[in-house]
Structure 1
Amino acid sequence: MHDLRKQALLESGKTVSRKARSRAAGGGGGTPSSSRANSAAPSRGGSRVPSRNVSDDEAELSDGTQWSGASIDEMIAPGTEADAVPEEVWKEALRERMDELAGSRRKGSSEGREESLTGFVTILTRHYAADEVRARREETVQVLLKSVKADATDKEVVLALKALALLVITEPSDTVSDALSGPLKTCINDSQYPTAKIAAIHTLSITTFYGGASMEQTEDLMSYLLDIVSSDGAVIDAADNAALVTAALEEWGFIATQVEDMSESTPEGMETLIEQLDSADVDVQIAAGENIALLYEKSYTEAESDDEAAEEDQSIPTNGHTNGHSTRMIKRYNPIQGDEHQLIQTLSALAKTSSKRLSKSSRKRLHLAFTDILNTVENPTRGPRYSTALDEEGREMGSRLKIAIGGPGGGKMTIDSWWKLHRLNALKRLLREGFLVHYEENQVVFDSLPVVVEED
């Protein structure tokens, strides 16, 4: 048994399933693939985000290697405005960085490449530079892949991987997933650096989502990530690395938002996710729980004209009731084949945990996350931060998870479903303080999260 869950399992007296033991020993066993049509991004409603007042956090990126996004509470609070860099300045700096990278493979050092990559990543994060990178995209991709394959230093590899992800989301291509998936999986499997494996997981997810991958390729990636999770990282020679397992869980959930029908892959996915609730790591537990909530949410879809009313039907207000109309939701399948009562007990315990081995901040995070997750499992049509408090018109408040757009006086983005939260978190992991720039200017970013912005 791997140490990642050993402590919690010993405390609870639970045993590990035969499938989990098989996977831990390298037995594999991914999610069965099925032929399903790709789920298009939800139709765009409302107007584009209003002209922003630079409310995003323009703090330094440090060395540019971070992948963790800000917490939801940090996102809700508007950031501070930084001095805007003149357009001609950052464009010229970007051209210089690309020139440096093109020449560095022949005569440069790892330290020099790291410096150039840091500048390149910082600029692509903070600015939408599609016009500037388009003509040199293929050349730059090849240069970055050389850094990934060389596996010289962990910092260079991680920066090159992040640069690849930023290139893909800045200037997508329908063929880039085919070109990058092989080298990225090789990095995940064989890199000597755990941080590089983690970065490659994130980059592979982005290239699959935005790089023209087929639904079969998408489901294959989900199966691959599930194997990583179920073995606690052992299948890629990174046993008991909680950060790596968290990354695989996060990206599994992000990719799952593209799959319209999860009925066939949910049972095995749910089994693995429930096992991870026993992890000794808070991040792993929360990532697994948020995926469980997503699977429950996806088990319900909007009623169609030929659907008959049933006892499990629920009517919920569209967009958290803001337009006064209701949408009837139909339960299409049962998201769990095991003991749902036991799952609810586990989620309830996590929502109220008082374990002294956890810090106060970790307990707070668990309470907040699993209160929402439990609410969705018990009421699958309720998204994160759902409030049953009544407004002045006697209707439930609905989701109260709102992200400020544009600073004081600007609009607010309501995140009222788990698929939206998973996509928001994935974008924040990559784009960090540049999220609002890309959301306003980058069409593919907006189309992947087409949320109506409410005016204050």
Structure 2
Amino acid sequence: MGKKRTGDRRMRREGDDDDEVASVASVERRGTFVSDDGEFYEGYSKNVDDEQEIDDAVEELTEKRTTTRVAALEKLTAHLLQYLSPEDVSESFMDNVLGCLRKPSESEAVLGSRILAIMAIIFGEDEERFFQRSKNVLKPLVKTARNAKIKVSTIRALGLICFVCSVEEENTKDLLELFETFFNPKIIGDICKAALDSWGLVASSLSDEMLASDILLERLVPKFLALLDHKDVEVRSAAGENVAVLYESAQNCGVPLPYSEEILDRFLEMSKDSSKKNSKKDRKTQRVVFRDIHSTLASGETPHVSFSVKNEVLEISSWKSVKQFEAMKECLQTGLQEHIKYNNILRAMLDLPETLEDRKVDRRDVFNKKSASRKQRSNELKGDRKRKQHMQDAFYDDGF
């Protein structure tokens, strides 16, 4: 995706036998196996009924009843997660979603923000008008909303849309400064983590020279270090990952990271956390994450993340790429595999070759919970999740 593809990724194809195995969205990171609980479905052919359902839902976004608008947003989210081509996203579709975000309820803000983010992944780069229109409704909510869920969803959406669609460096700098305002140990975890993740995503589009500048490092490294004391393990982890992003850029430019000895000692300590004040689950999470980060800072080892879709395996080996992939995964969730299979915009972001595969199955069964294919797929995924949870538990119990 042009300037956005700043990380290290590579794609490999596995043997033909893998085509026979049902694949569930999965990430393997230095021995840590994480699986998506969401269901995904085989491809489908968009038909007249689908088009009418989308048109009806778009129209319902203008209804006075909040419950009607929320139900319509839910329907449209489901369609977008199964992937719509850019030409299937009408101007009225976009207009009405933006309209729902001008004075939104909590549900409208959460759903509407996510819809805009998914649209960005469908539209791709150099969509400055879409970014500006989205920013005009999202940024005020980021700055003034008192509801934590609204703040989290709008922060994440604004960061992703800027990363994917904006081509103006000024927009990137503006949002990085906005996200920095939430780097405070006193801010609740979900908001702080969303700001850290979005900062890492948007920053990953910048050159190493910009990220390794003395002014930026001197300002940001102390802020990230302060967040290592946050009570939320997800905030501590996100702050550590952003330090790793800055370290990689500094190394590429031959620039030392400020407080490098202090950082190494702290990360090593956190990778061996045994404090009883943290839950067992949080201690395990922190040890795994900071073991990876410490390895990067201490010996230059790169992170390793792999994601498989049928016979394709995406392998990621830089912290910039980790932040980018995690953002796409967070946004698409259950729709990630569908988009990787059919969305060439996303495939280009991930350095995967263009796909010519088309949808083959009518998707009416996707929304019918009583359909045989839906039940069969649900049972398969339940079995997969149990096996993968067992693998993860075994990994943690084996000395971690």
TM-score interval (norm. to shorter): 0.7 to 0.9
1:56 shift after superposition = 3.6
CA separation of 1:104 and 1:221: change in aligned 2, threshold 3 A: closer
45-54 or 244-253, larger mean C-alpha shift = 45-54
SS at match of 1:413: strand
What corresponds to 1:334 in structure 2?
Answer: 256
What corresponds to 1:55 in structure 2?
Answer: 23
SS at match of 2:255: coil
1:81 shift after superposition = 7.5
SS at match of 2:111: helix
Whichever structure has more helix as a proportion of its residues is 2
CA separation of 1:94 and 1:228: change in aligned 2, threshold 3 A: farther
Q: 2: distance between equivalents of 1:425 and 1:266?
A: 23
1:111 shift after superposition = 0.8
What corresponds to 1:92 in structure 2?
Answer: 49
Q: Contact 2:36–2:334 at 8 Å: present in 1 too?
A: no
Q: 1: distance between equivalents of 2:36 and 2:145?
A: 38
**AA matched with 1:268:** R
RMSD between aligned alpha carbons? 3.0
What corresponds to 1:286 in structure 2?
Answer: 237
1:77 shift after superposition = 5.3
1:148 shift after superposition = 1.1
SS at match of 1:353: coil
1:42 shift after superposition = 4.7
Matched, 1:248 2:195: yes
What corresponds to 2:333 in structure 1?
Answer: 432
Report the TM-score when normalising by structure 2: 0.77
- The correspondence of residues 4-403 of structure 1 with structure 2, limited to 5 A, is 39-42=3-6, 55-56=23-24, 84=42, 86-88=44-46, 92-93=49-50, 95-105=52-62, 107-133=63-89, 136=90, 138-151=91-104, 153-172=105-124, 173-229=127-183, 231-232=184-185, 240-260=187-207, 261=209, 262-264=211-213, 265-301=216-252, 331-336=253-258, 339-380=259-300, 382-384=301-303, 399=304, 401-403=305-307
Q: 1: distance between equivalents of 2:250 and 2:319?
A: 12
**AA matched with 1:216:** E
Choose the corresponding residue for 1:418, options 319, 330, 336. Answer: 319
Query: Mind listing any 5+ residue stretches in structure 2 that lack a counterpart?
Result: 354-400
SS at match of 1:228: coil
Q: 2: distance between equivalents of 1:112 and 1:298?
A: 48
SS at match of 1:277: helix
* More relative contact order, 1 or 2 (CA 8 Å, 6+ apart): 2
1:159 shift after superposition = 0.5
Q: Contact 1:94–1:120 at 8 Å: present in 2 too?
A: no
Query: Mind listing any 5+ residue stretches in structure 1 that lack a counterpart?
Result: 1-37, 58-68, 233-238, 302-330, 385-398
1:125 shift after superposition = 1.4
1:49 shift after superposition = 6.9
What corresponds to 1:26 in structure 2?
Answer: none
1:198 shift after superposition = 0.6
Q: 1: distance between equivalents of 2:274 and 2:199?
A: 29
SS at match of 2:181: helix
Deviations 1:270-305 (A, max 9, x none): 11111111111100000000111111111133xxxx
Q: 2: distance between equivalents of 1:78 and 1:124?
A: 18
Q: Contact 2:7–2:318 at 8 Å: present in 1 too?
A: no
SS at match of 1:414: strand
Report the TM-score when normalising by structure 1: 0.68
Q: 1: distance between equivalents of 2:113 and 2:27?
A: 20
1:191 shift after superposition = 2.1
1:92 shift after superposition = 3.3
Q: 2: distance between equivalents of 1:354 and 1:255?
A: 33
Q: Contact 1:75–1:404 at 8 Å: present in 2 too?
A: no
Q: 2: distance between equivalents of 1:147 and 1:226?
A: 27
Q: 2: distance between equivalents of 1:171 and 1:92?
A: 24
1:209 shift after superposition = 1.1
Q: 1: distance between equivalents of 2:187 and 2:163?
A: 27
Q: Contact 1:128–1:437 at 8 Å: present in 2 too?
A: no
What corresponds to 1:14 in structure 2?
Answer: none
SS at match of 1:404: strand
SS at match of 1:332: coil
